[in-house]
Structure 1
Amino acid sequence: MRRSAGAARGDRGARAQGARRQVGPGYGRGGVEAATTPSPVGATSIPRTGIGGGVVLDGRIHLGSHGIAGEPGHIPVAMDGPRCDCGARGCLVCYAGPEAVLTAAGLGDALTRDGLESTLHRFATAASAADPAALAALDTAGRALGAGIVAITSLLDVDEIVLGGVLAQWYPHLYPAIDRELSQRRAIAPTIQLDITPALLGADAILLGAIEFARRAVLSDPATVPPVPGNAEAGLSQAN
């Protein structure tokens, strides 16, 4: 299902703001605060919608010219890959999205029958038990993520990538393959240290990001907040 640009912009802003909260004061690295320091890109996996994300530059959410900046799920990582719902081929979500990983691990029928949450739990159990199919699916996802991250960092020169959602849960299994892909970039610029970190806010990241997003909008322009009808009438009565 296609979403309107406004809905996509708000969703992406909430995700990016959640990532910003992680890397801001009290969450470890503070590079997002300094204008002279490259700021992070937060790539957050959202179950049931594939892979979403957001871009944080100089402490602010970057939406792009049309409000759709920060769609890591549709970065092409294979020219002749599977067809994506967006119409292209080889998008990152086709390899590292929750549904794609579960299907690659042989759990496609379980996903259809039991739903996403139940199948994710089953997959986590299989990965913890070193099931070969589960680990192979995670290795493929990690390689695809690594290729996508190389593209993001080559374009934006960020200093941190934040993985959230199920990607954060799978981080220990994904990171080795991601790191192998990133070694290509280190060969070109060996002094650059890119941090790949799992999100710390868990399931609350989007909610906290949405709250922060709204708070920043109100503080930047209080006039955008419509008055409560009852309060407006009460204020007018008191003025008279």
Structure 2
Amino acid sequence: MSRLLLVEDDRMLGDALAAALKQDGWQVDRAEDAAAARLALVDHGYTAVLLDLGLPHGSGLDVLASLRQRYDTTPVLIVTARDQLSDRIRGLDAGADDYIVKPFQADELGARLRAVVRRSQGRVSPVLRHGGIVLDPADRSVTRDGQPVKLGVHEYRTLLALMERPGRTVTRESLESLVYGGDGSIESNTIAVYIHLLRKKLGEDVIATIHGFGYRLGGGE
């Protein structure tokens, strides 16, 4: 599961956005003022940031500036009611990756988030491929050799985490955090169970076990 920081001082709107983002598969951390946002961005690594401009204890542009001054390239999508062209230009010139004006549809927000993350990872196509396996994050579909494969939620998130990191070994602890958001209450063999189920559905050689480290896409061992 990808982790996102939502910086929004309107609690009701923040609750609605967080609910929609969680439905879309994100783990969401919250900050309601600029100081809390800056602290969270120093202490944690995020896949993306949703950033309001009008915040207590500083502006969203201040938060963005401090992020970019550290050469942190985390994708930032500005979410604001300010719809003036000058505001959009200022935000983009400050280092934002995209800009969406309230009100907006949750589907558009999800699509823009996927786009900025995709660009940050150097991917042009939204679709992830590994051999005959194709994963489309837009509709959460998976096919193998052109045939649809039905995956449970956690199977899908496990596969997504691995396909977003091709060629890299992902530790069990990292997978647990990506799939469950670091919930320490899960069983120690839970990820191994989902790896086993994915191999049954996609092929034994799709995911390799790197003993003592974790898992990666490729031939099994």
Q: Is the pair's TM-score, using the shorter chain for normalization, greater than 0.5?
A: no
- Indicate the structure whose relative CO is greater, using CA pairs within 8 Å and at least 6 residues apart: 1
What's the TM-score once normalised by structure 1's chain length?
Answer: 0.25
- The structure richer in strand per residue is 2
Structure with greater Cα Rg: 1
